Every structure is written in C-alpha cells, then in structure tokens.
C-alpha cells in the first residue's frame, strides 16, 4: 500500500492509543506483523512540548520508517505549528486527531468534538496540509462516524478533507456519543470509501482474522486499523495477515516465543520510562497478556505487588516457563467470529 512517498509492507495498522502505543509497543507490533503504526496523541499546545510525558510520546529512536505522529488541538495555527515542530524532530507523516472521544479532550473542543464544527475542522486540515506539503510530508486524518447517531457527518468531512489535501482517512465505526460502547457499524465507512479517492482505513471491533476479512468485504476499505485487540496480543497482525493471504488460520504462537517477546518488550519499556514509572506502567501490558491464560488472574494480582524491574521480569519469565510445560502453544483465543457486521 502506498502512502505519499512511502510503500507500506501491508494494510494492517496499529491504532494510536494514549498510554499504550508508545515506541516499545509500536515496535513490537511492527515486528509481529503490523505494516504501519501511529504514535500516541501529542498536544498542539506549545507549553506541553517539553514535558516528560510529551518527550516520551515523541521518542522514535530506532523506529522503522515511516514515522507517523498524531497531533491534537483546537486552533488551526497551533496545529500547523505543532505539525512543523514534529516534522523537525523526525515525523514523516502527520495524523490529525478528530476521533478521540475522551471527555477531557472533547471538553476542550478537540478530538471528535471537532466533527461538530466542520468549519474549524477544515481550517485545521488546511493549515496542517499547508505546513507539511512543502516538506513532502503526507497528512492523514482519523475520525469517527460523527458526534452522535443524529449527527453522522463522516462522509461530508471526508470529502472536504480530501479536497484540502489529506492523503488517507481512517474512520472508527462509532460516534463520539458511543465512546467504545456497543458494536461498531461499517456502513458509514463504506460510504466514506465510496465518496473519496484517497485510501480509507476501517477501524473498530476488528478482533479476529475472520472479522478482519468480513470488515474488508463490508467496507471496501484499503486497510484495517486495530487497537484494543492488540493489547496483550500483538501477534494478531500476523494472524490476520496470514489468514487474509491464505484463507487458513495461523496456529497460536509458542508459549516460549510469547515469553521472549514480552520480556524483550519489558526491557524496552523500562529503558524508555525508567524503572519506577516503567514498572508501574508495564503492569497493564502484562495484565493484558495473561488475563485469558490459565492462572492469569492470580498471577496478575501477585505481579501488581512487585515494585522492581528485575522482580517483574523474573515473575513473567517464570509464569510463561511454567505455562509452557502444560501448554507448549498458547490456548486459542475465543473470538467473536459469529458476530455479524452491524448495519447502521
């Protein structure tokens, strides 16, 4: 798949998720089959650029190109400045956030709140494209189907964004009002795909290889973006890629392979955050990885009491070593393959 000057190895993307898709996690997903990954949301507010939180989010050391950074804000001039700032620091693609449903973001009229004000939304797109185009940097846009069921305007906004120069559109199949509740619908994504010529990416509830194929068929999308289903299961990209290419399900990964991936990820995580913050923020990644495994709930409770990196790594390694004695391969994940694609 082509995105501006970049040829992506496949059409399976990691969704930007605040507090999740930092550099170590993006690299792990890329290693396990994702063709593209977008950074966590970075604020357009200048006073936040030099904070520790933003510096970690903007860390792309050793990351495979293209480097994609998502920015969020409410003011066109500030967003253009933020785009230029991130390009100066290595961003090769700029993604505009109009999809975040979080109250603290929408209360500031950013994220998906921008879909209620198409004039401001388009002004932001135009300003960011104007800042990036002379430097050969593609601009992409992530949005929802609309603010609410009564205000679905993704098609109109997609057409306007394409006219303003956006190179790719990602649509999450829910309104802002839904948050992450209920099921995603894909009719709106299909309508966006039919309305524009730029690539369209489908996002929302893609949690198995069969669901991935079904969403591609239902939407005609050029690519898929996967978020929550990759938490604790980053090899889902390999599973989906294999199924789309062959029509056959990939066997679950070897338990010892998962042990190696997770331990390596933990070391990368500590290197980015330091031991104190790293141990605490790593707990969610470990919890996601073990919650559906035999003994996972008890292990998670015990692991949350550990406060050193060495103890955390040793506990994870022991858990998977012991699991491998009875389960050389991970137990298959129960997928919602019987769910039909929901219509709007």
- Res. 106 pLDDT band, cuts 50 70 90: very low
**At residue 107, does pLDDT exceed 90?**
no
- 38: which strand partners? 68
- The whole-number average pLDDT for the span 8-15 is 97
The neighbour count for residue 131, using CB atoms within 10 Å, is: 22
* 207 and 280 inside one domain: no
Average pLDDT of every residue of the chain? 92
Domain membership flag for residue 341: no
What is the spatial distance between Cα 318 and Cα 3, in angstroms, rounded to a whole number?
43
User: Range of 159's domain?
Assistant: 2-246
Q: Looking at the domain assignment, is residue 97 inside a domain?
A: yes
Q: Is the pLDDT of residue 339 over 70?
A: no
Question: What's the average model confidence in pLDDT over 81-89?
Answer: 94
When divided into structural domains, the chain yields a total of: 2
Is the same domain home to 266 and 200? no
282: CB partners within 8 A, 6+ apart: 266, 269, 270, 312
User: How much is the pTM?
Assistant: 0.92
Does 261 share its domain with 241? no
pLDDT digits (tens, 9 = 90+) for 151-183: 899 999 999 999 999 999 999 999 988 888 889
Please indicate, yes or no, whether residues 207 and 305 belong to a single structural domain of this protein.
Answer: no
On the CB side of 81, CA atoms within 13 Å amount to 12
Whether residue 339 lies inside any domain: the answer is: no
User: At 91, is the secondary structure helix, strand, or coil?
Assistant: coil
Average pLDDT score over residue span 133-148: 94
Q: Are residues 175 and 132 in the same domain?
A: yes
User: What span, in angstroms and rounded, lies between the C-alpha atoms of 165 and 154?
Assistant: 16
Residues 151 and 289 occupy one common structural domain: no
pLDDT tens for each residue of 288-336: 999 999 999 999 999 999 999 999 999 999 999 999 999 999 988 655 5
Residues 238 and 90 reside in one and the same domain? yes
> Residue 73 to residues 23, 177, 276, 312: CA-CA distances in angstroms?
22, 19, 30, 37
**Which residues are annotated as catalytic?**
100
Phi, psi at 38, each rounded to 5°: -110, 140
State whether 140 and 100 are in the same domain.
Answer: yes
Question: Domain holding 66: CATH number?
Answer: 3.20.20.70
In a domain, 136, yes or no: yes
Query: 267 and 230: one domain?
Result: no
């Amino acid at each position: 798949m082509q995105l501006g000057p970049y040829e992506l190895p496949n059409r399976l993307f990691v969704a930007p998720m605040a507090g999740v898709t930092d550099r170590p996690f993006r690299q792990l997903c890329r290693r396990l089959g994702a063709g593209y990954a977008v950074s966590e949301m970075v604020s357009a507010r200048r006073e936040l650029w030099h904070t520790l939180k933003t510096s970690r989010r903007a860390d792309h050391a050793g990351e495979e190109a293209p480097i994609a950074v998502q920015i969020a804000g409410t003011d066109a001039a500030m967003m253009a400045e933020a785009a230029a700032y991130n390009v100066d620091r290595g961003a090769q693609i700029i993604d505009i956030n109009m999809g975040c449903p979080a109250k603290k973001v929408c209360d500031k009229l950013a994220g998906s709140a921008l879909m209620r004000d198409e004039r401001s939304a388009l002004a932001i797109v135009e300003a960011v494209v104007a800042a990036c185009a002379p430097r050969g940097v593609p601009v992409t846009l992530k949005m929802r189907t609309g603010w609410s069921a009564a205000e679905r305007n993704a098609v109109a906004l997609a057409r306007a964004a394409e006219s303003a120069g956006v190179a790719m559109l990602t649509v999450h199949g829910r309104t802002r009002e839904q948050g992450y509740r209920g099921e995603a619908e894909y009719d709106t994504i299909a309508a966006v795909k039919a309305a524009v010529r730029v690539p369209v990416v489908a996002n929302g509830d893609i949690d198995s290889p069969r669901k991935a194929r079904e969403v591609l068929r239902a939407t005609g999308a050029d690519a898929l973006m996967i978020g929550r289903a990759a938490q604790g299961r980053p090899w889902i990209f390999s599973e989906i890629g294999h199924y789309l290419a062959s029509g056959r399900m990939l066997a679950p990964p070897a338990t010892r392979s998962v042990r190696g991936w997770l331990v390596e990820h933990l070391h990368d995580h500590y290197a980015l955050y330091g031991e104190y913050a790293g141990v605490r923020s790593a707990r969610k990644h470990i919890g996601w990885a073990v919650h559906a495994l035999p003994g996972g709930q008890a292990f998670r409770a015990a692991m949350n009491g550990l406060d050193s990196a060495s103890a955390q790594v040793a506990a994870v390694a022991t858990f998977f070593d012991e699991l491998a004695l009875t389960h050389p391969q991970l137990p298959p994940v129960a997928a919602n393959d019987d769910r039909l694609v929901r219509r709007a």
